[in-house]
Amino acid sequence: MAGDGQQKRVPRAEDMRHIAQGFVERVTVGRRLPLDFSVKSLRVVDFLVDELRSGAVEQGLIARNLFGLGAYVGEVLVRNAGAEWVDLDEDQRGYFRQWVGVRMGDGMVRSPLGKVGNRYEGGGEEESLERYYLTLPGRVRVAA
């Protein structure tokens, strides 16, 4: 709340792996969710975003969960597609409406946080995060 003396910290690229891991630990407590940072786990992310859309989650937790899911999707790109977390410049922040994104192997910057928001707002198979990964240009195969 405004005036409570607390400022929201702006996420940085260097924080995102930790944020993604913390999200996984938080949402898997008591639930058997296969969130293992694999490409196939993006189906679970689609399901979780749809769960948020259904109203099953307290309204105050939706933004936090969407951010965590976006961090998770970005980390899947880092671990599996040769992407790297980057702090966005002023123009990129204006375009993506985010502070961080990922740079793909082809040099293009993408916003997994924004993509999760699109899935939440629009829903539907055309906004699938699994499909996003599979059709994303610039992916580089990463050795396990």
Please count the CA atoms within 13 angstroms of the CA of 133 that sit on its side-chain side. 26
Query: Whose CA is closest to 141, among 19, 51, 34, 39?
Result: 39
Instruction: Tell me the residue ranges of DSSP E strands in 1-144.
Output: 84-87, 100-103, 109-110
Q: Enter the pTM of the model.
A: 0.89
Using one digit for the tens of pLDDT, what is the confidence trace for 56-113?
Answer: 777 778 999 999 999 999 999 999 999 999 999 999 999 999 999 999 999 999 999 9
Residue 2 has pLDDT above 60, yes or no: no
Q: What pLDDT score does 143 carry? A: 62
pLDDT tens by residue, 27-55: 998 888 899 999 999 999 999 999 898 87
Please report where in the chains the tokens 């790109």 appear, as a residue: 77
pLDDT of residue 31: 85
pLDDT of residue 1: 36
Q: What is the pLDDT of residue 95?
A: 95
Residue 4 has a pLDDT of: 45
Q: What's the CA gap between 8 and 38, in Å, rounded?
A: 30
CA R_g for the chain: 15
Average confidence score pLDDT of the chain: 89
